[in-house]
Every structure is written in C-alpha cells, then in structure tokens.
Chains A and B, each alone.
Chain A
Amino acid sequence: MSESLIYLAFAVVVVLPMLPGLLEILFRKDDGALPIDESYMRDPRYLGKSLREKVRALAGKATVGVRMQFLGRRREYARVVSGIELPNDSRYEDVLLSRGAVVAGNGVTLLDVYAEDKVAIGANARLRTLAADGEASIGGGVRLQRWADAECNLTVGPDGNLGQSASSAQRLTVGSNVRFRRLFGRPVVIGSSSSVSALPPVGAPERVAMIACGGRNHVVSAHDVTEGETLDGDVIASGTVHVGAKATLKGSIKSGGDIAIGPGARVLGNLVARGSVLIDRGAVVFGHVFAEERVTLQPGAVVGTAALPKTAYGGRSMRLAVGSCIFGWVITEGDGETFVADA
C-alpha cells in the first residue's frame, strides 16, 4: 500500500508541472509567432503623424460644431471648431479639432489639440497633446503631458516641461530651463535663433560618412588631439579622448570613457562614448553623438547640419545650453534640460 502511494506521489510530481502546459497544448491560446510590426519604420514625428491620420479618419468630413466620441476613448469627446480663442485661465474639457487657428491665453488647461492652422498658447498652460499643421508657439511654464508636433516652426518658452516628445518638421526653438525627453527639429535651437552663432556650420562637408573611415590607425588607451591639430582617421580609445580647441578630426571617436570636444573644434564623424560627451563652445560635430551617460552642449555647439540631420543621444541625461543647436533628433532615456551657461 505504502509502496503504491509512493509511486502515485512520484507520478503526481512528474505530471503536475506538465498540466498547465498540456492545457495550453490542447487549447492553444498563445501559440502564434511573436508579433513584429514588419511595416514599422522609425520616425521621430511618428506620434504627430499617427494622430493626424486617426483624426482625419474620424473627423475628416465632420461639419463644424459636431461633438463626437474621441478615438473610442470612454468619457472623452472631441469638438470640431472652425477656430477658437480661449481666454486666460479657461478650461476646455473636450478634445479640440480645429479647422482654423487656435489662440489660447495664459493658464489655460486643455486636453488634446489638433489644428489645421497655427496655434498660439499662452504661458503656464497645461495640455496633453498638441498637433498643429501651421506654426505653433507655446508660452513659458507649459506642462505638456504627452507630446507636441508641428508641421511648421514650433516655439516653446522657458521654464516648462515637454513631456515625452516635441517635434517639428521645421525649426523647433526651446527656451531655457525646459525639461524634455525627445526633441526633433531641423534644427532644434535652444534659446532664440539669434543666440545660435553657427547656422548652418560654415564649411560643412557634402556628406558625413556614417561609417566614417572605419580606420584603425589611432587605437589607444587615451588620446589628446592637441589645439589646432588636424588628424585623419578614427580614434578608438579605452579611456578619455580630448579634442583640443580649434582642432579638426576627420573621422569618428569611440571612447570607453568620456569625450571632450574643445572650443571651436570640428569633428567630421561620429562620437560614441561609454561615459559622457561634452561639446564645448562653438565646437561642431557633423556626425552622431551617442553617450551612455550624459551629453552636454555648451553655447554655440552644433551637432549635424541642415543638409545632414543627425542624432544626439544621452543615456542618462542631456543638457543643452542656450545658444546650442542640433540638426535632427535629441534623445535621452533620463533627464533632459536646457540651461543658461555661465558667461
């Protein structure tokens, strides 16, 4: 009897872990291939474009004044207007789909705003998303919950928070002391346009080879490109790399530590660092900037060119001084902020 019980217990122990699997084999609830969106293409303005598509499908032919449920969301309604002016400190409970311009005063609170024309929102506004087909401006102190996108120039005042993303098909101008995660513009200008000294960089090469030279001629533990020097080829270093003031590097840099680009220096390739990257005043990097820690751009520093937009990526943080400029995409997984550098 006891022997039979032992055999039974053994059989239970062997079979029991299999039972959920046997049920899954029988009823096949999770047997498909892992989903891959094979049509996916990376686009920095994906959020704005996606919303426009959905809104056009929803309200493309809707007449002005119609109020409808918004994209299947419960308790959220969208109102189609011909254009609207909102007074200071007003609150608009519906999603705004505007055929004309949207002008909102200071301190307004909005949900999603989509305008087929220009948008001007005053200071200290609170809004969830903004998509504008025309020019858009947002005053200082804005609190953007998700994202903003404009087909034309987008200007954001100081002291705000841009949520997950702010993008523009043209120029994106961001004031000082603004927090962000992703910025895209051609270019992204920090401060006012007049504060950027080099737009576009003078003497930009016709093409920045993304794969650089692939050269292996400067593999070192640490490296200094001295002031005013011109160096051909890539620099690959396990430690810190410093490019001196007004030096020129015709290649890319890979560093196991930090990279510092001195004032007025030029790098024709990419910067890739396991640590941080500092691009000093007036320095120009024609390629991409990737740092696993922090990226800092001082006033007058430029990444990319008008013809060849690139990416600046800071894994932990991104600090962009007023007067700096990036042609292309700015990304951080951590904290992004604009700041006023000491004189």
Chain B
Amino acid sequence: MVVTFLQIWLAFVVGVMVVYTIRHWIFTFSRVYSRQRVSFADAYDEDLPMLSVLVPMHNEQAVAAQCLDAILASDYPAEKLEILPIDDHSQDETAVILARYAARNPRVKPVRADQRERGKSSALNVGLAHAQAEIVLVFDADYTPGRGVLRALAKGFIDPEVGAVMGRVVPRNTSRNMLTRLLSMERSGGYQVDQQARYNFDLLPQYGGTVGGFRRRLLDEIGGFDPRSLAEDTELTASIFRRGWKVVYDNRAECYEEVPETWPARFGQLRRWSRGHNAVASSNLLGVLTAKGLSFAQRLDGALLLLCYAVPPLLLSGWLAALLLFSMGHMPFAGGIALAFAVVLYNAFGNFAPVYQIATAEVLDGSTRRLYLLPFLFYMFPFNSWAITTGWVDSIGDFVKSRRPNWEKTKRSGMGVNEA
C-alpha cells in the first residue's frame, strides 16, 4: 500500500517536472527561432497620457535619491507626470529626503502611509488614493529607470485590451560577488527568454510589480491590493487574466535594480516571494482555470505560473519518495536500467532546461563569457529549493492559523548605482 502510494506520487512528481521541462524548452526555442511580437515602444507619439508614478519606500535612505533623480530625468512630458513616493513607516532619513525633493520639484508629491499597516500592498493602496492619473506606474525604490522607460511603458496601453505592462529588470550590482553574478543570470533567463516567450505566445506574462504599470480602473474594479498579500504583483496578474485583460511585456523597457548581495538576504527574499506567491496561487488557481475567454494554453500557463513556487517542495517530496522506495528495496518504475535512463533524461532535459534558458538569454544579451558560470547555478538550485520550500511551509502555516504575514524588507546597500 505504502509502496504503491510512493510510486504513484513519484510518477506524479516526474510528470509535473516533465510538463515544466517542456514549457522551458518551448519558451527557449521560441525566443531563438520565432518572430518576436510587436513592441509598442516603437510607437511615435506626442500625445501621451497623464501618468502617476508610485514608489513605495520603507527605510530607503540609501536609494531614495537615486530613484527620484532617475524618474525626474525622464523624457516624459513634465506636465503629464506626477511622482508619488510613499513613505511606508520609515524610521530613517527617507522622509527628510522626500521632503527635500518635494520642496525642489512640484511634481514630487510624497505620501505618508503611517496610518495604515506596513507593507507594499498597503502602501500602494495609499498611493492610489492620491494618484490623479488613469495610468499608474510602479517602481521599487532601488530602481533607476532610464530616460525613455516611462514613455516606453506608457505606450503599452495603446492596446485597449492591456490592463498592465511590464518592463525588464536588469541587476545593477552584478559585479559585487558570486551571488549577484548568478542572480544576474537568473534575471536574464526570466525576462529575456521566459517573459518574452510568454508574450510571444499570447500566454500570461507576469506583471512583476516593479518596472511596470496598470490601469487605475482595473484596481478600482478589484478593490485595490489585498493588504495581507506579500505578492501583490502575482495577485494583480491573476486578476488581470481572470477579468479578460492582458499583460504586455516590453523587453526593451529595461531598468536597473539592486539584487541581494548576501545569502541571508536572498534567502529572505525568496522565502517572502514563495510565501506570498503560494498564498495567491491557493486563492486564484481555480479562478484562472475556469476564467472565461482564456484558451487552454493560457489556462495551463496560468496554472503553471501560479504553481511555480510549489514545485521545489513537490520536487523535494519526490526525492524523498525515491529514497524511501530505494531503502525499502523497491526501485522506482521498471528497474535499475530504466531508473538510470530516467535520471539521465531528467538531468538532460529537466534540471538543465532552465539552465539552457539562461544560457540562451546570455547569448541574446551578448554576455558569452559569463556562460562559463552556468555550472555554478546547479549549486544555487538546492539553496533556492530550500528557501522556497520554507516559504511554502510559511504559507501553509498562514492558511491554517489564519495568520497575517509580515512584510520582510530586502536590505539594500545603494552602493551599486555607479557600477552600471
């Protein structure tokens, strides 16, 4: 009985991994060999809409000035731009910095979110209450958008079906250490290949909550962001597709960010993402699978997107099942040779698939020498799996105990701004 259960479970895990593997491969080949979909950033337009730019900030004295400087240097028409930095319970000099910018520039309108609970979702809700424009862009405080990024993002809304737009995130502090170099590669794979391919196939590119924006009426429709959510971006993505809107991804709206520079910071970030993402998945999976107007491929991609942070715990359970079967003298499947064959196949096409995706992204970006670091990504895999699994356990705990998660901010150094 136990053996049968373990065998079925192991077969299920392998099946799920095969599905994700095929997805990775299709995305990678699409990015290399298919025609890429239209970028609205190509449009020439002097008739741009009014924009509200929200920048949630919690203890961001290290990066607040560089972010505001970058936005103020944008080529977006000054009379159509308002910048709303949201001071979210900061205890450092953030408020002083914002006040200084507001005094110098009337376009900067700081908002205090001290009356509400802390966290990005709450801060965004406070910012939205003050925003005047129909199109709202959001940047994290460690982001420094280039001069043309606001204009490029705003043009995504040329398409009346588009509810949100997402640009590309590029780490600024890549050279800091081994971790930042590997994270830079992961980001390349995630945006240059994964997001662009999903957009090419008219699937579900994700609104990432940082270099992006949305229609305000969409947020009015869903009643704003859920203050309890740690993954307001995933939540909005799911809401967008459930309501028949689309997300447009613009690979050329590139923006520098600061990636975590220490392993504990990265662990905390992944854990928070996993915790929030899995909570969103549990409340939106059925809705995406049954949403009207979505094709089968879109529903499948939506499900795979929502479940992606459940894969590492699933994989760990598969490994555990395989170990148990081995120790109980029951080789999985049809015996040793078949097992060896499965392991080889899985390593060649399963584990390696995301790595091929990253390699493809680096080639497309013209960064061929950093491809040599690819084998080191295998050593990131267990680390990532452990952090994500911890977050998954947290999300289960939140659900069972009706617990409200706290927003754990990723620590920033602000030191990488001159490195790019």
Q: Which residues of A are interface residues toward B (Cβ below 8 A)?
A: 17-18, 20-21, 23-25, 28-42, 44, 184, 207-216, 219, 234, 236, 238, 251-254, 269-270, 272, 274, 287-288, 290, 292, 308-311, 313, 315, 328-329, 331, 333
Contact = CB atoms under 8 A, between A and B. Distances in A.
Given A40-B147, A40-B148, A33 B49 contact: no
B46 interface: yes
B144 interface: yes
A252 B70 CA distance: 33
Contacts of B38: 290, 292, 313, 315
A270 B44 contact: no
B170 A34 contact: yes
Nearest to B373: A21
B44 A21 contact: no
B160 A270 contact: yes
Given A24-B372, A34-B367, A41-B75, A236 B155 contact: no
B160 A42 contact: no
B92 interface: no
A7 B221 CA distance: 63
A41 to B, nearest CB: 4
Given A236-B160, A315-B38, A38 B144 contact: yes
A312 to B, nearest CB: 10
A311 B159 CA distance: 13
10 contacts: A32-B419, A214-B160, A253-B160, A254-B159, A270-B159, A272-B160, A309-B46, A310-B44, A328-B45, A329-B44
B61 interface: no
B134 A21 contact: no
Contacts of A213: 160
Contact of B160 (A29, A251, A331): A251
Given A33-B173, A34-B367, A211-B134, A308 B46 contact: yes
Interface of B: 35, 37-38, 40-49, 70, 75, 134-135, 144, 146-148, 151-152, 154-155, 157-161, 170-175, 178, 181, 184, 188, 202, 215, 217, 244, 254-256, 293, 365, 367-370, 372-376, 416, 419-420
Given A216-B244, A311-B45, A36 B370 contact: no
10 tightest A-B contacts by CB?
A30-B369, A38-B146, A20-B372, A329-B44, A252-B160, A234-B160, A311-B43, A33-B420, A17-B375, A254-B161
A23 B146 CA distance: 33
Contacts of B134: 211, 214
Contacts of B172: 33
A25 B160 contact: no
Contacts of A269: 160
A269 B160 CA distance: 9
A241 to B, nearest CB: 12
Contact of A311 (B44, B184, B375, B420): B44
Of listed B188, B255, B420, residue having the most chain A CB within 10 A: B420
Contact of A315 (B35, B370, B419, B420): B35
Contact of B155 (A34, A210, A216): A210
A212 B160 contact: yes
A272 B375 contact: no
Nearest to A287: B158
B174 A33 contact: yes
Contacts of A308: 46-47
Contacts of B49: 209-211
Contacts of B42: 42, 311, 313, 329, 331
B291 to A, nearest CB: 13
A31 B370 contact: yes
